[in-house]
């Protein structure tokens, strides 16, 4: 696809989102029995001249079967204690009756800048969401509408990193980046306001980014004496291309939501007051799909970038699936039975 076509199709993503949400959509019964309007989850390739209204009847069996998810608001249950610790700088919630977790940096007075403690708390929440078999999608966000995250809190930055209660200087957000990447469930950044510095890197690490129309993106490191020469630069170059990545870091400018969409930094842009609604819809669409398919796809896309560490992650998925098979179990059972394994009944697939 040419750059022009790509940019045009990205614009259409915004447009079709607006059409879908602005139109008077049909009502449907949701899973809790309440009346709700529905979202046609399939983008139609169309121009603005001949666009099909989103409330038109489904045109294919695929659309009829898969096209709609509920757009009722999620109902969140707050979790105050994680890893036996009271959360102080993060709000952690799970949606009642559906597999979505939400982790929000809660330092709005600092534009959600993170300290080592914030990062540690996020890490506990991600670990909890990973281990909870009911959770299939995780939202990362910041509280308030002014910032997703403004990166490391510069007031606690010491010579060797950011300093917390234990006085040890850390760059522990790097471990968090790896944790999010390795997490075998989709992580969605829900961005309102500023996503800058280390906060910009966090959204890039997430699998998807839903941006509000007030979102602002940028790298500030070269202005504040910092840089991320890991995923923050190399993954960015894969996302938006070498020239744009160098521009973003070398000039340290800010970019609005439409510019971010045009660059391929975000997946879609929606009005601020519909940010959570749209993010939840994207999560619900993913939750309908095969968790194993999503898991292995994420690992494959990581493996393409992550060298041996990526192959290890992808290989771990192969082992996990193999353990579920009779062939894999025959080896284990033979060991336990103190006999030689008999793999003769398993086909040598072409
Ligand atoms: C984000 C802003 C552009 C917002 O500007 P705005 O005008 O809307 O708001 P204020 O500037 O008035 O901010 C309100 C309030 O918040 C405080 N604040 C904001 N951001 C931070 C921050 N990052 N650290 C500390 N405090 C912050 C601000 O001081 C105000 O407080 P008052 O007391 O005065 O009310 C703008 O705020 C801005 O530019 N912020 C700084 C962005 C930044 O440079 N971030 C750090 C980049 S470096 C980084 O994040 C980083 C972290 C790592 O852990 C790394 C690890 C490894 C390698 C690299 C790393 C790295 O680069």
Residue 328 half-sphere exposure toward CB, CA atoms < 13 A: 8
Take atom 14 of ligand 1 and give the residue whose Cα is closest.
110
- Nearest 5 degrees, angle CA 100-CA 105-CA 110? 160
Angle between the 242-251 and 231-240 helix axes, to the nearest 10 degrees?
130
Question: What is residue 126's three-state secondary structure?
Answer: helix
Q: Residue 346 contacts by C-beta under 8 Å, 6 or more apart in sequence?
A: 326, 327, 330
Q: How far is the CA of 43 from the centre of ligand 1 (A)?
A: 37
**Hey, what CATH class is 293-337 in?**
mainly alpha
Looking at residue 23, its pLDDT comes to 32
198 lines ligand 1 (CB under 6 A): yes
Report the pLDDT value the prediction gives residue 53, as an integer from 0 to 100: 53
What kind of architecture, by CATH, is found in domain 76-289? Alpha-Beta Complex (3.90)
Token pair in block for residue 141: 């966000």
Report CA torsion sign: 227, 231, 237, 239.
negative
Res 57: pLDDT: 74
Span from the CA of 153 to the centroid of ligand 1 (angstroms): 6
Q: What is the pLDDT of residue 300?
A: 98
CB-ligand 1 contact for 174 (6 Å cutoff): yes
Pick from 151, 164, 218, 228 the residue to mutate for probing ligand 1's pocket: most ligand atoms within 8 Å of its CB.
151
Contacts of 8 by beta carbon, 8 Å cutoff, 6+ apart = none
User: Of the residues 112, 113, 170, 229, which should be mutated to test ligand 1's pocket, given the most ligand atoms within 8 Å of the CB?
Assistant: 113
| Positions in the chain whose pLDDT score sits under 50 | 1-52
Q: What is the pLDDT of residue 59?
A: 87
> Angle CA(91)–CA(95)–CA(96) in degrees, nearest 5?
130
- The pLDDT tens digits for 7-20 are 434 433 333 333 33
Residue with CA at minimum distance from ligand 1 atom 9: 111
Domain boundaries of the chain, sorted by first residue: 3-70, 76-289, 293-337
pLDDT at 4: 36
Contact residues for 50 (Cβ-Cβ < 8 A; gap 6+) = none
Secondary structure string (H, E, C) spanning 166-233: CCCEECCHHHHHHHHHHCCCCEEEEECCEEECHHHHHHHHCCEEEEECCCEEECCHHHHCCCCCCHHH
Report the pLDDT value the prediction gives residue 2, as an integer from 0 to 100: 39
Q: How many residues does the chain have?
A: 350
Question: Cα(150) to centroid of ligand 1, in Å?
Answer: 5
> Which residue's alpha carbon is at the smallest distance from atom 44 of ligand 1?
220
Neighbours of 123 (CB within 10 A): 20
**Residue 335 φ/ψ region, left for φ over 0, alpha for ψ in the -120 to 50 degree band, beta for the rest:** alpha
Please determine whether the domains at 76-289 and 293-337 fall in the same fold group of CATH: no
Neighbouring-strand partners of residue 68? 40
Distance 41 CA to ligand 1 centre (A): 36
pTM score: 0.87
């Amino acid at each position: 696809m040419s750059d022009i076509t790509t940019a045009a199709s990205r614009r259409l993503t915004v447009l079709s989102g607006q059409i879908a949400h602005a139109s008077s959509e049909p009502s449907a019964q949701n899973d809790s029995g309440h009346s709700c309007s529905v979202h046609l989850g399939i983008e139609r390739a169309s121009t603005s001249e001949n666009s099909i209204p989103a409330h038109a009847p489904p045109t294919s069996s695929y659309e009829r079967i898969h096209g709609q998810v509920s757009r009722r608001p999620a109902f969140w249950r707050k979790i105050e204690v994680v890893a036996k610790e009271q959360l102080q700088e993060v709000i952690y919630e799970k949606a009642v009756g559906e597999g979505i977790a939400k982790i929000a940096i809660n330092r709005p007075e600092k534009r959600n800048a993170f300290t080592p403690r914030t990062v540690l708390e996020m890490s506990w929440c991600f670990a909890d969401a990973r281990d909870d078999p009911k959770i299939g999608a995780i939202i990362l966000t910041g509280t308030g509408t002014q910032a997703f995250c403004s990166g490391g809190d510069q007031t606690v930055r010491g010579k060797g990193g950011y300093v917390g209660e234990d006085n040890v200087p850390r760059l522990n957000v790097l471990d968090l980046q790896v944790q999010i990447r390795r997490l075998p469930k989709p992580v969605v950044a829900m961005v309102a306001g500023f996503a800058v510095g280390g906060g910009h890197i966090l959204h890039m690490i997430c699998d998807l980014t839903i941006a509000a129309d007030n979102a602002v993106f940028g790298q500030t490191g070269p202005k504040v004496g910092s840089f991320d020469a890991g995923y923050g630069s190399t993954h960015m170059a894969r996302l938006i291309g070498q020239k744009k990545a160098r521009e973003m870091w070398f000039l340290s400018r800010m970019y609005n939501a439409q510019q971010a969409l045009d660059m391929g930094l975000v997946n879609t842009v929606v009005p601020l007051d519909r940010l959570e609604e749209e993010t939840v819809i994207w999560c619900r669409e993913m939750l309908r799909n095969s968790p194993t398919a999503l898991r292995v796809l994420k690992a494959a896309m990581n493996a393409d970038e992550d060298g041996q560490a990526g192959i290890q992650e992808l290989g771990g998925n192969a082992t996990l699936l193999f353990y579920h098979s009779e062939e894999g179990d025959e080896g284990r059972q033979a060991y336990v039975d103190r006999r030689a394994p008999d793999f003769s009944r398993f086909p040598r697939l072409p």
